[in-house]
Amino acid sequence: MPGFISGKKRLTEPKMCIINTVKQNSICLSKSDTGFHSQFDHVSLLPGLPDDVAKLCLALVPRSSHPSMAGVSKNWRSFIKGKEFITERKLAGAVEEWLYFLTMDTVRKECHWEVFDGVERKFRVLPPMPGAVKAGFEVVVLNGKLLVIAGYSIADGTDSVSSDVYQYDSCLNRWSKLANLNVARYDFACATVDGIVYVVGGYGVEGDNLSSAEVYDPETDKWTLIESLRRPRSGCFACGFDGKLYVMGGRSSFTIGNSKFVDVYNPKRHSWCEMKNGCVMVTAHAVVGKKLFCMEWKNQRKLSMFNPEDNSWKMVPVPLTGSSSIGFRFGILDGKLLLFSLKNEPEYRTLLYDPNATPGSEWKTSDIKPSGLCLCSVTIKV
């Protein structure tokens, strides 16, 4: 049906129709019995429309309405949970970019997740994450979902190292439990490469440096151990470029001080190699486009930018005034790097760096700011 998606007016009308359908069906289902729900689940996605057209209609619904869509039927919920839904939204040009923060109330010392809706320019608070409050965990995004992995907790004065993995589905506005790691760990490196999550190194249950590495396959919900690092490594971080995993920073039990070695894993060869020009004592890092941005503890007034094409580093001055020990956490929105100040004071504004801007106009400020102290930030496009 070529005419169905041609013209701005005709594209908008199905979207409004689906939004109304979502609202109406959500109300009906809340009052209906299980018999009606079962009957509804066996019909097509949208009665009277071919599935390909129905999927396009659902893909055009604004992201803020996705949790309501999930309550309409099992068919709708199954569709919006899968990869196909993300693909349909990309093809329709309907992808929305939301920024997620783990923030801490500096007065009450309590943490919570919140999200910035880049379309409506609003903040929303996420449901509390299950499990114990932890530190030393890692966060990655996989297939449009947020994964919080491992870490350690302190209860009754006793440390407990975790292998737990929790997933937040933004379409359902819901947390769920995934398979545990094979090895409990904290302060480790974690990143995704070609739809696979990699976890590397860290500290183990006994506080020992780990060299083990494992991967997560979302299709099977299973973690599998792979070849270990050449040397134990903890307090490190990771990123993925061109189908390879790069691990840098942190410490190794085989070196004095912080390591400048970069461990590189090639999934096709199932093997590690190393380079010798990494960053050390990294306090924040983020991948924007095809470049890695880092901030080192020793120099908060410059960004270290890594180009994996030639393994080169470039320094970018940060336009700071006052103390050089402000400190930042990084975020990414619309291809730009956001620097959130660790000084949780009203006068501090978020710095914004645009790597694609003309020379001299790369830096600006932004009003985007978490409600409390930013502990970490990730971007999810759905």
Neighbours of 366 (CB within 10 A): 15
Residue 12, pLDDT above cutoff 50: no
Residues 237, 189: contact at Cβ < 8 Å? yes
229 or 252, higher pLDDT: 229
The helix/strand/coil state of 333 is strand
User: What totals of helices (H) and strands (E) does the chain contain, helices first?
Assistant: 6, 26
pLDDT tens track for 175-196 = 999 999 999 999 999 999 999 9
Q: Report the alpha-carbon distance of residue 101 to residue 135 in Å, rounded.
A: 15
- Encoded tokens for 298: 């020793």
pLDDT value, residue 108: 79
In this structure, of 88-102, 121-135, 151-165, 182-196, the range with the lowest mean pLDDT score is 151-165
Q: Report the alpha-carbon distance of residue 72 to residue 304 in Å, rounded.
A: 48
The helix/strand/coil state of 167 is strand
Instruction: Kindly state whether residues 149 and 119 are assigned to the same domain.
Output: no
Residue 335, pLDDT above cutoff 80: yes
Instruction: Kindly state whether residues 133 and 275 are assigned to the same domain.
Output: yes
Q: In this structure, are strands 244-248 and 158-169 parallel, antiparallel, or unpaired?
A: unpaired
pLDDT tens track for 38-59 = 444 446 899 989 999 999 999 9
Q: Domain boundary at 280, 302, 329, which?
A: 280
pLDDT value, residue 254: 63
Q: Domain boundary at 280, 301, 324, which?
A: 280
Helix (H) / strand (E) containing 295: strand 291-296
Residues 142, 218: contact at Cβ < 8 Å? yes
pLDDT value, residue 40: 40
Residues 372, 106: contact at Cβ < 8 Å? yes
CATH number, domain at 216?
A: 2.120.10.80
The residue segments making up the domain with residue 68 are: 2-91
82 or 107, higher pLDDT: 82
Residue 37, pLDDT above cutoff 90: no
Residues 189, 199: contact at Cβ < 8 Å? yes
In this structure, of 29-43, 150-164, 221-235, the range with the lowest mean pLDDT score is 29-43
Residues 382, 143: contact at Cβ < 8 Å? no
Q: Give this prediction's pTM.
A: 0.86
pLDDT value, residue 31: 40
Q: What is the mean pLDDT of residues 11-17?
A: 43
Give the DSSP per-residue string, 205-240.
TTS-B---EEEEETTTTEEEEEPPPSS-EES-EEEE
| Confidence band, pLDDT 50/70/90 cuts, at residue 327 | confident
Instruction: Kindly state whether residues 257 and 350 are assigned to the same domain.
Output: no
Instruction: Kindly state whether residues 157 and 273 are assigned to the same domain.
Output: yes
Instruction: Kindly state whether residues 119 and 162 are assigned to the same domain.
Output: no
Instruction: Kindly state whether residues 80 and 100 are assigned to the same domain.
Output: no
Q: What is the mean pLDDT of residues 122-147?
A: 94
Instruction: Kindly state whether residues 324 and 360 are assigned to the same domain.
Output: yes
Neighbours of 19 (CB within 10 A): 17
How many domains does the chain divide into? 3
293 or 159, higher pLDDT: 293
Instruction: Kindly state whether residues 146 and 159 are assigned to the same domain.
Output: yes
- Encoded tokens for 236: 């490190």
pLDDT value, residue 3: 33
Q: Domain boundary at 235, 256, 280, which?
A: 280
Instruction: Kindly state whether residues 165 and 231 are assigned to the same domain.
Output: yes
Mean pLDDT of the chain: 86
Give the DSSP per-residue string, 76-88.
HHHHHHSHHHHHH
pLDDT value, residue 9: 36
For Cα atoms 160, 245, 139, give the angle at the middle one, nearest 5 degrees.
Answer: 40
| Confidence band, pLDDT 50/70/90 cuts, at residue 260 | confident
Instruction: Kindly state whether residues 145 and 26 are assigned to the same domain.
Output: no
Instruction: Kindly state whether residues 115 and 43 are assigned to the same domain.
Output: no
Q: Report the alpha-carbon distance of residue 327 to residue 342 in Å, rounded.
A: 5
- State residue 245 phi and psi, 5-degree precision: -105, 130
- Cα–Cα nearest to 55, from 80, 30, 72: 80
Instruction: Kindly state whether residues 68 and 184 are assigned to the same domain.
Output: no
- Encoded tokens for 274: 């190393």
pLDDT tens track for 234-255 = 999 999 999 999 999 998 766 6
Question: Inter-axis angle of helices 51-59 and 83-91, to 10 degrees?
Answer: 80
